[in-house]
Amino acid sequence: MDWLTPAFFATALLYASVGFGGGSTYNALLSLAGFDYRLLPIVSLCCNVVVVTGGTIRFARAGVVPWRRAMLLSLVAAPLAFLGGLTPIREETFLFLLGLSLVGAGLALFIPRTPDAEAEPGDGTRFMPLLAAPLGYLAGLVGIGGGIFLAPLLHLTRWAQARQIAATTSLFILINSLTGLAGQLTKNGTEQFANALTPALPLLIAVVLGGQLGSMLALRWLPERVIRWLTAILTIWAGTRLLFG
């Protein structure tokens, strides 16, 4: 577990700097460390909540959250995230879906973003609530927030300006992580909460520090594009390790 603490810190720093929680990579790191797969979502979703809560508050204070549209996406996905958390899943299926999700999400991070000056809404924006539902279910099933899938779709459809998309993604992750966590606890029993988090307390402290540092300072040190590429490489590496051992 010694190497996990700095790995969680680095993951939180990178993901928070681009508006994500990092749940997918937390899951992968825990799996590679031999953590019980049934407890992975509980730890990763709690870490997600810790990381994105601060970001959501800062976005709200800055007045950049498009509340009506962001809440629509989040509330459409939330019940499905709860159902995903409730769904029993075999370890092999869980790790396959998680690995596939990581590789797909990492590749999506390489998709170029449309500059705000050119960000006229595309025709696909009207379908985003329909796409949010399956994203919510997948998020709850494998114990992630789902924002790492939502954000590229929002950018591709030119749903809003970049800061509004980051704010929406942060809120989406927060709500889906909470409802997915509720589903996981309902499925596994609340006693598993203590079983999962007791050995993971250093990891939670690491993501608190990494998330705060990432959201406040990282973009001052490196261009956002470089941070996104580093995040993508980390995500694809972790997913490939799960898929191919």
**pLDDT: which is higher, 13 or 122:** 13
**What confidence score (pLDDT) does residue 124 get?**
64
pLDDT tens for residues 39-57?
A: 889 999 999 998 889 888 8
CA 23 to chain centroid: 5
pLDDT top residue among 244 and 48: 48
DSSP character for 120? Answer: P
pLDDT exceeds cutoff 80 at 84: yes
- The answer to whether 79 and 177 are in contact (CB under 8 A) is no
pLDDT, residue 191, reads 82
Taking the CB of residue 178, how many other CB atoms lie within 10 A of it?
18
Listed in sequence order, the DSSP H helices in the chain are 4-17, 23-32, 40-62, 67-86, 91-108, 128-142, 147-156, 162-188, 191-197, 201-213, 219-221, 224-244
Torsion sign, CA atoms 194, 198, 199, 204: positive
> Token digits for 106?
């990492």
The stretch 201-212 carries a mean pLDDT of: 90
What are 203's two structure tokens? 């990891």
DSSP 55-116: HHHHHHHHT---HHHHHHHHHHHHHHHHHHHHS---HHHHHHHHHHHHHHHHHHTTSPPPPG
Only one residue has tokens 């749940």, namely 23
**Which residues have CB under 8 Å from 169's CB, separation 6+?**
19, 20, 147, 150, 151, 154
Does residue 138 contact residue 146 with C-beta atoms inside 8 Å?
yes
Tokens read off for 201: 């307390």
- pLDDT, position 137: 95
**What CA–CA distances, in Å, run from 120 to 163, 188, 230?**
15, 45, 28
* Range 141-156 average pLDDT: 86
Q: How many CB atoms lie within 10 A of CB 230?
A: 18
Q: Is the pLDDT of residue 120 over 70?
A: no
Burial readout 65-104 (b: 16 or more C-beta within 10 A, e: otherwise): bbeebbbebbebbbebbbbbbbeebeeeebbeebbebbbb
Confidence of residue 176 (pLDDT cuts 50, 70, 90): very high
